[in-house]
């Protein structure tokens, strides 16, 4: 899909990958709505005509309000990018709050957006849903069960709607990066530590958000489902598919290295 003059919503657009996506889509000529739970003024600075919406996408009402605000500003949404996400270190003993927040933002937000966008898209015979999952959604996240589980669910949801509605005109892409140089990588979220920046660094290159945004625009242009800004993620996924026991053994080895590194 060509982005010029398309109506595009990006969630989690206040900073990091979302801010870079919004900037890149605006440069491609799209009408951009930047949404985040806090202000997006800094990210929207210099993006002429862009619309800022404060919305908590971790609730259904927040998604509905966002979609209504975007449609009031520009008309029907052509592309919705469910990018907002939270990352906490965690395990099965982590608090219910950590697990609930992970599911709300990393999974249910995608479902709620789709729930309220799909009827219009199916009636029009077109619509584009993009989500930011993670390499953790096809592989794993050492040190975080909530992140691994919810990002797998995000990939599963994107796959499901792609399979089910492709013949009715829906396009879907799912962004699955490894390390990207954002606040999530450094600090995590307010509920707890990040998804282990040292793990990500042990696992491979850390990209800049703008580089990720360039890869996303190419993928949208090609209408490609999986977006792997780190190409090695595709190799790891192939290894996981062909030799799952070897892949698991490799992940356990990485887990030991992380434990030893402290």
Q: Say which residues have a Cβ less than 8 Å from residue 262's Cβ, sequence separation at least 6.
A: none
Q: Assign residue 223 a region: left if phi > 0, alpha if psi is -120 to 50, beta otherwise?
A: left
Q: Residues 191-220: x/- map of binding to ligand NAD (CB under 6 A)?
A: ---------x--------------------
User: Under the criterion CB under 6 A, does residue 52 sit at the interface with ligand NAD?
Assistant: no
Which residue in 22, 28, 53, 58 binds ligand NAD (CB under 6 A)?
Answer: 58
Torsion sign (Cα): 143, 145, 148, 154: negative
User: Under the criterion CB under 6 A, does residue 183 sit at the interface with ligand NAD?
Assistant: yes
171 has which bridge partners?
128
User: Under the criterion CB under 6 A, does residue 179 sit at the interface with ligand NAD?
Assistant: yes
Q: Is 205 helix (H, G, I), strand (E, B) or coil?
A: coil
Which residue in 9, 86, 107, 117 binds ligand NAD (CB under 6 A)?
Answer: 86
Write out the binding residues for ligand NAD, residues 99-158 only, by CB under 6 A.
Answer: 105, 132, 134
- Are 127 and 100 within 8 A, CB to CB? no
Residues 177-193, buried b or exposed e (16+ Cβ, 10 A)?
A: bbbbbbebbeebbebbe
User: Under the criterion CB under 6 A, does residue 229 sit at the interface with ligand NAD?
Assistant: no
Choice between 170 and 200, CB closer to ligand NAD? 200
Q: How many residues make contact with ligand NAD (CB under 6 A)?
A: 29
Q: Cite the beta strand spans of 114-184 per DSSP E.
A: 127-132, 170-175
State the residues that interact with ligand NAD by CB under 6 A: 11-12, 14-18, 36-38, 56-58, 83-87, 105, 132, 134, 177, 179-180, 182-185, 200
């Amino acid at each position: 899909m060509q982005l010029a003059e398309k109506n595009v919503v990006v969630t989690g657009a206040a900073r990091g990958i979302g801010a870079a996506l919004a900037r890149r889509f605006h440069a491609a000529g799209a009408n951009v709505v930047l949404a985040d739970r806090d202000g997006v003024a800094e990210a929207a600075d210099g993006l002429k005509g862009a619309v800022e919406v404060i919305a908590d996408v971790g609730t259904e009402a927040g998604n509905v309000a966002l979609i209504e605000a975007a449609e009031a500003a520009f008309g029907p949404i052509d592309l919705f990018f469910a990018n907002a996400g939270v990352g906490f270190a965690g395990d099965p003993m982590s608090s219910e709050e950590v697990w609930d927040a992970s599911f709300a933002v990393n999974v249910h937000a995608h479902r709620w957006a789709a729930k309220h966008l799909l009827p219009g898209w199916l009636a029009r015979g077109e619509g584009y849903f993009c989500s930011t999952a993670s390499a953790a959604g096809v592989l794993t996240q050492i040190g975080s069960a909530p992140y691994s589980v919810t990002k797998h669910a995000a990939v599963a949801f994107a796959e499901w709607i792609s399979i089910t509605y492709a013949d009715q005109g829906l396009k879907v892409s799912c962004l699955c990066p490894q390390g990207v140089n954002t606040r999530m990588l450094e600090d995590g979220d307010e509920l707890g530590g990040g998804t282990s920046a040292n793990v990500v660094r042990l696992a491979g290159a850390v990209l800049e958000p703008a580089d990720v945004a360039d890869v996303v625009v190419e993928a949208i242009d090609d209408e490609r489902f999986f977006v792997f800004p780190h190409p090695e993620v595709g190799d790891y996924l192939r290894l996981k598919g062909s030799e799952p026991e070897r892949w698991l053994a490799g992940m356990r080895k990485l887990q030991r290295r992380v434990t030893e590194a402290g």
